[in-house]
Amino acid sequence: MATILLIDDDEGFRTMLRRALQRVGYTVIEAEEGGAALRALSGATVDLVITDIIMPGKEGIETILALRRTHPQLKIIAVSGGGRRKPEGYLDVAKDFGAVHVLRKPFDNEELFAAIKDALR
């Protein structure tokens, strides 16, 4: 199965998502923000990135732009629960900058698994 790089500053959310992904057979590498994720990529082969948008350090949009420069073929799914504005605004920007799918938090596992399956085709 595929290896997924999961980027989210919320440790509880990351743990929950990692467990769900591992239960269905994915290998998961975790990072708490974009800078840590880019460092993790230097020594790993990853098939897909799932990134939150609103994070301290290197946030999601910056991370997507960096990934497009360094790993242009890498598939990205962006997720967001918003922040000061509605999540759709952030997710629209993420899609414009290269996310193949966007999901608004909270989402269910079926939505996530469908987006992953589509992205990895």
Mean pLDDT by 10 residues, the chain (121 residues): 96 97 98 97 94 95 96 96 68 95 94 98 94
What CATH homologous superfamily does 3-120 map to?
Response regulator (3.40.50.2300)
Q: Which of 74, 26, 22, 76 is nearest to 50 (CA)?
A: 76
The domain limits of the chain are 3-120
Q: Supply 94's token pair.
A: 């993420």
Residue 30's pLDDT is 98
Q: What is the pLDDT at residue 90?
A: 86
Bridge partner residues of 41 (DSSP): none
Cβ distance 54 to 83 under 8 Å? Answer: yes
CB atoms within 10 A of CB 19: 10
Greatest CA separation for the chain: 37
Residues 6+ apart with CB under 8 A from 25: 1
- Give the pLDDT score at 84: 59
